[in-house]
Amino acid sequence: MTTLAANGLSPTDFDFLAKLVLERSAIVLEQSKSYLLESRLNPVARENGFDTIGELADALRKPNHRQLADAVVDAMTTNETSFYRDIHPFEVLKKQLLPELIEKRSKEKRLTIWSNACSSGQEVYSIAMMIREHFPQLLDWDVRLRATDLSNDILERAQKGIFNQTEVNRGLPMQLLMKYFHREGVHWQINDDIRSMVRFDSVNLIENWPLTLANVDVVFLRNVLIYFTPDTKRQILAKVRQRIKDDGCLFLGGSENTMNLTNEFERVQVDRTVYYRPV
Ligand SMILES: C[S@@+](CC[C@H](N)C(=O)[O-])C[C@H]1O[C@@H](n2cnc3c(N)ncnc32)[C@H](O)[C@@H]1O
């Protein structure tokens, strides 16, 4: 019997699939990533009844392949995330930015925080738990925690708020696990009180964004720009600027910055982290 791996991936099929992924998600796949494409698309091919990735590519060349194309894009996204990832941005949010915003917004009593490219939700749930733990004065505020991602599969997972033991071992203090989660079989589920603080929506960064994502106070856009070309990063940062309040703030991932991409944000370094303010 021929195995999928043994069939390899032709340069033509690689180019075709890389273009499809680029057009639908802006994720750039260099030829050197052909191993990644193969290892991630082998299961997609199998699950959809194809013997080879070549056959999968052929099916995608025919019309009406939306679901299959979504599955391919989903498989090519990297969903790596963790609770309180890199910790310092969350510390700055807790110690400096939220107290400042609470003072500034004390009349309207409304705050909007957007976790963009939220993956399985650990980032936004980290913020939600922080708010419950440290900002009881926000209980009667209109706090809007919005979380968006391109992948419907990952959003469905995020919305359920179910995590395995390895996931809760990464970055989540035991005291928060005990307080805000309950057992769900061998997994852990975040309690409804925290879960209901968050609204999850499907948003592709390179397509239209919902109008309701406007006047945002804090944008988390972490560890996703790395997958895009400089031009795409520029376009996305320009759109973020339109959606963020003049005195709001933006967090990027540890290896991301705005250099040569935009002059509409200034870099602010606090302790061991950096955030960006509109100028
Ligand atoms: C590495 S995760 C980052 C998760 C989280 N922000 C963090 O820093 O831990 C990257 C996420 O970006 C999402 N993504 C990739 N391309 C996207 C696009 N064009 N629009 C929206 N989300 C996208 C992926 O689905 C994935 O969940």
Ligand 1 centroid from CA 128, angstroms:
19
Residue 204 Cα: closest atom of ligand 1: 20
Q: What residue owns the CA closest to ligand 1's atom 9? A: 81
Give yes or no for a contact between 114 and 146, defined as CB atoms under 8 angstroms apart.
Answer: yes
Residues forming a β-bridge with 250: 219, 276
pLDDT mean for each 10 residues of the chain (279 residues): 54 96 96 92 96 96 92 95 97 98 97 98 98 97 98 96 98 98 97 98 97 97 98 98 98 96 97 95
For residue 158, the CA-to-ligand 1 centroid distance in Å is 12
- Which residue among 22, 28, 77 has the greatest number of ligand 1 atoms within 8 angstroms of its CB, and so is best to mutate? 77
Which atom in ligand 1 lies closest to the alpha carbon of residue 221? 6
Which of 259, 177, 191, 222 is closest to 87 using CA atoms?
222
Q: Which of 205, 209, 243 is nearest to 225 (CA)?
A: 205
- Give the per-residue pLDDT at 33: 86
Widest pairwise Cα distance in the chain: 70
Give the pLDDT score at 3. Answer: 40
Q: Cα–Cα distance between 139 and 151 in angstroms, integer?
A: 31
Atom 19 in ligand 1: residue holding the nearest Cα: 25
Which stretches of 33-141 are assigned E, i.e. beta strand?
110-116
Q: Whose CA is nearest to atom 13 of ligand 1?
A: 117
User: Ligand 1 centre and the CA of 104: distance in Å?
Assistant: 31
Residues with CB under 6 A from ligand 1: 25-27, 77-81, 85, 117-119, 123, 149-151, 154, 204-206, 222-224, 227, 253
C-alpha angle 28/87/247, rounded to 5°? 80
Q: How far is the CA of 130 from the centre of ligand 1 (A)?
A: 22
Closest ligand 1 atom to Cα of 203: 21
Domains of the chain: 4-76 (1.10.155.10), 88-278 (3.40.50.150)
**Structure confidence at residue 146 (pLDDT):** 98
Of the candidates 155, 244, 240, the residue with the CA atom closest to the CA atom of residue 202? 155
